[in-house]
Structures are given as structure tokens and as C-alpha cells.
């Protein structure tokens, strides 16, 4: 299984600012995923990030709000831009393995005041 | 479109008793099915999966799940619950013929009481 780390683990931010979340994997992976888990709710896929190409965003998520970088096969960043209290969530990075499983990072707990 | 339903927001069970957490799914093609567990302030941990083969799959920590194609269900079970099993459980589905997108159910909170 892959070991995934995320930075920061949590943050409290003011509305209107931006936060960049980092995701580091201990092995090279083709596909990385970013999810959002709003308080008391399930996980929603924000986008899929492949190295060397633009991220693919799910319905309801746009690049201007959630720009993603994928500079190499072990690293990705998600930026939450122009934040509002509605962006308060846990943001999780995930990677897929060759045996159909997905592994998740510990998450970044974001609170917007 | 694919979807997952977990009809119970919370399941309460006494320690030592068997537990079941329910999951039903909908996909247009053949499903890959997964269970994940989330402990407080932690990420999701993979428990088990059904890809093909035997309908009864065994996973981590003594959990198992049974794939039932006719009922489109994939209920999570454990013969004897532990207090340490108390956590949030998510069922997820991926359409075999529709890429890598995982769709999660709403989650079920399992409370095991001593």
C-alpha cells in the first residue's frame, strides 16, 4: 500500500484568502485524487490529477476555485482560493493502486472564519 | 451514473454481538465494491474489496462483506464486535467500465457499547 502525507494537517484561515494543501506519496503513482468531506458528510471527488496534464474536475468544482498542480509522480497540491466559510471541510488526497484499491492521506482540516 | 446508499446513519451494537452495516449500490455496468473505515481525526483506511470471484470477501480486523448481485448489496459484517470498532464506515462503488471514479455512500456511524 502507498503511504500518503498531507500538509498542513489543519489550518484556520480568514475568508478571502487562499490555502495550498500539499500531498506527498512514497511511491510513483499515475493518478491522484482530491476529495472534500464537509462536516458530517461523505466524501465528494473534486478532481483527478494526472502528471503532465490538466486536472479533470467533477461537476460543481472549477479550476479557478480549486487549482491543482501535479509536477511529478509523487506530489500534488490543491489550492482553495478566495475562501468562504462554506469551504470549511476536510480535504483528502488519494491515490489508486494496481489492485483496484485507493489509499487516502490523513486529510487537511480547514476552518474558514 | 453510479450511486451508493447506506440506509442507516448509525448502528448500535453491544460488544461481543454480531454487527451488520448495510450498503446498496447502483451502477450501469459491473461493480467494484469497497469498504473504508474512518476513525476520529484520521483519514480513510481500506477494509476490504469485491472485484470478482467469491461473493464473500474477508478483510482487515475480522470484517467481511457479502456481494449480492440480485439485491445489489454489499453489507459489511463482523461476527463479534469490539468497542474499538466504533468508527465511521463508508461503502464505495466503482463502475468497472467507467474509469477510476469512486462514489461513496453517506457513511454509517458504528457505536459498540461495552
**pLDDT averaged over chain B?**
93
Q: What is the pLDDT of residue B98?
A: 66
Rounded distance between C-alpha atoms, residue A64 and residue A59, angstroms: 14
The CA-based angle B23-B26-B27, given to 5 degrees, is 135
Find all residues with CB under 8 Å of B70, minimum gap 6, and list them. Answer: none
Rounded distance between C-alpha atoms, residue A97 and residue A28, angstroms: 10
Contacts of B34 in chain A (CB under 8 A): 101-102
Q: What is the pLDDT of residue B95?
A: 80
- Choose among B32, B42, B105: nearest Cβ to A100: B32
Output the tens digit of pLDDT for each of chain A's 113 residues: 789 999 999 999 999 999 999 999 999 998 899 999 998 889 999 999 988 888 999 999 999 999 999 999 999 999 999 999 999 999 999 998 777 888 999 999 999 99
Question: Are the beta carbons of A104 and B44 separated by less than 8 Å?
Answer: yes
**pLDDT of B100 over the 80 cut:** no
Tell me what the mean pLDDT of segment B28-36 comes to. Answer: 91
**pLDDT of B25 over the 80 cut:** yes
Q: What is the pLDDT of residue B30?
A: 85
- Choose among B44, B45, B100: nearest Cβ to A96: B100
Q: What is the pLDDT of residue A99?
A: 79
* Window A:6-45, CB contacts with B under 8 Å: 31, 33, 41-45
Higher model confidence: residue B7 or residue B29?
A: B7
Pick among B35, B43, B48, B102 to test the A interface (most A CBs inside 10 A): B43
**pLDDT of B67 over the 90 cut:** yes
Give A97: exposed, middle or buried? Use CB within 10 Å, 0-12, 13-18, 19+.
middle
Find all residues with CB under 8 Å of B5, minimum gap 6, and list them. Answer: B23, B24, B25, B105, B106
The CA-based angle A19-A22-A25, given to 5 degrees, is 165
Using an 8 Å CB-CB cutoff, list residues of chain B that contact chain A: 32, 34, 36, 41-46, 49, 51, 90, 94, 100-102, 104-107
Peptide bond before A8: cis, by omega within 30 degrees of 0? Answer: yes
- β-strand A89-96 against A102-104: which pairing, if any? antiparallel
Q: What is the pLDDT of residue B28?
A: 86
Q: What is the SS3 string spanning B7-19? A: CCCEEEEECCCCE
Amino acid at each position: 500500500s502507498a503511504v500518503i502525507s498531507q500538509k498542513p494537517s489543519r489550518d484556520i484561515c480568514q475568508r478571502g484568502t487562499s490555502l495550498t494543501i500539499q500531498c506527498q506519496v512514497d511511491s510513483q503513482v499515475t493518478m491522484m485524487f482530491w476529495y472534500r468531506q464537509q462536516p458530517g458528510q461523505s466524501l465528494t471527488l473534486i478532481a483527478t490529477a494526472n502528471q503532465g496534464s490538466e486536472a479533470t474536475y467533477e461537476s460543481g468544482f472549477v479550476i479557478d476555485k480549486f487549482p491543482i498542480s501535479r509536477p511529478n509522480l509523487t506530489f500534488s497540491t490543491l489550492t482553495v482560493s478566495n475562501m468562504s466559510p462554506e469551504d470549511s471541510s476536510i480535504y483528502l488526497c488519494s491515490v489508486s493502486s494496481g489492485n483496484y484499491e485507493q489509499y487516502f492521506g490523513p486529510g487537511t482540516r480547514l476552518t474558514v472564519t | 451514473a453510479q450511486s451508493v446508499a447506506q440506509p442507516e446513519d448509525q448502528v448500535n451494537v453491544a460488544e461481543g454481538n454480531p454487527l451488520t452495516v448495510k450498503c446498496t449500490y447502483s451502477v450501469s455496468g459491473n461493480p467494484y465494491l469497497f469498504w473504508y473505515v474512518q476513525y476520529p481525526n484520521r483519514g480513510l483506511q481500506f477494509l476490504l474489496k469485491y472485484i470478482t470471484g467469491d461473493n464473500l470477501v474477508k478483510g482487515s480486523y475480522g470484517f467481511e462483506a457479502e456481494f449480492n448481485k440480485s439485491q445489489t448489496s454489499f453489507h459489511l459484517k463482523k461476527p463479534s464486535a469490539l468497542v474499538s470498532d466504533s468508527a465511521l464506515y463508508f461503502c464505495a462503488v466503482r463502475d468497472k467500465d467507467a474509469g477510476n471514479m469512486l462514489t461513496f455512500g453517506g457513511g454509517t456511524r458504528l457505536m459498540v457499547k461495552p
